[in-house]
Amino acid sequence: MEQENSFPLIGDKMPDMTVQTTHGLKNIPKDYKGKWMVLFSHPADFTPVCTTEFVAFANLKDKFDELNAELVGLSIDQIFSHIKWDEWIEDNIKVTIPFPIIADMDGGVSKKLGMVHPGKGSQTVRAVFLTDPDGIIRLILYYPQEIGRNMDEILRALKALQVADKHKVAMPANWPNNELIGDRVIVPPATNVFDAKKRKDQYECYDWWFCHKPYEK
């Protein structure tokens, strides 16, 4: 019988979990209530691609702070391995890892979040779960072990979600550098004929269903 994989999806609440981290025990998502959380898995400590990712995340910590977001790493490694790798990065690359790393030794958290993909071995793939201040999963990304992530894209998506929530708008491709409308945002399409007829008088539009307005911070 084919194995059925089950894990939370966009719009679901992040499952309640108590986890061991390099910063002590954490309750997810409870300890991050009121903040956005970027929970990301890496295949293993002391590996080249993962090291470059951790350095990149650490160097962008201030940018995530500005967006009220906390970083949390994870892999199926012992806490002692995490601590030693953390020290190695600081000693050899001169970068301090400022965020906690979950030691998911039995793989329970990874399996619950669908971070272990049978076709890619027993290590976690490079997953990203972005949750909002209410602990709701708003974005999920998966990368294979051999490809490092683009942290600027994670930041971009986080900022875009916050703007979308605040102003009830949508973001075009490559926002804020869209080929058609630049950093402008998309107004939700009209849902009745009366609003549709007024749309072109209210906003700049390609048509009533494709209207946009300036981006508001």
Kindly state the percentage of the chain with pLDDT values over 90: 94
Give which of 83, 1, 10, 99 is closest to 46, Cα–Cα.
Answer: 83
Residue 127 has pLDDT above 70, yes or no: yes
Q: Express each pLDDT in 190-209 by its tens digit.
A: 999 999 999 999 999 999 99
Are 21 and 31 in contact, with CB atoms under 8 Å apart? Answer: no
User: Is 50 a known active-site residue?
Assistant: yes
Residue 116 has pLDDT above 60, yes or no: yes
CB within 8 A of 5, min separation 6: which ones?
114
Output the average pLDDT for the chain: 95
Catalytic residue (choose from 14, 19, 37, 50): 50
Residue 3 has pLDDT above 80, yes or no: no
Residue 5 has pLDDT above 90, yes or no: no
Instruction: Give the mean pLDDT of 123-144.
Output: 97
Q: Express each pLDDT in 12-56 by its tens digit.
A: 999 999 999 999 999 999 999 999 999 999 999 999 999 999 999
The total of other beta-carbon atoms located within 10 Å of residue 149's CB is 19
Cα torsion 67, 68, 73, 79: sign: positive
List of domains in the chain: 17-149 (3.40.30.10), 168-213 (3.30.1020.10)
Concatenating the DSSP letter of every residue in 86-115 gives HHHHHHHH-----S-EEE-TTSHHHHHTT-
Instruction: Give the mean pLDDT of 144-159.
Output: 96
Residue 112 has pLDDT above 80, yes or no: yes
Under the banding of pLDDT at 50, 70 and 90, the label for residue 1 is: very low
- The pLDDT value recorded for residue 184 is 98
- The pLDDT value recorded for residue 121 is 86
H/E stretch holding 210 reads strand 210-213
Residue 4 has pLDDT above 80, yes or no: no
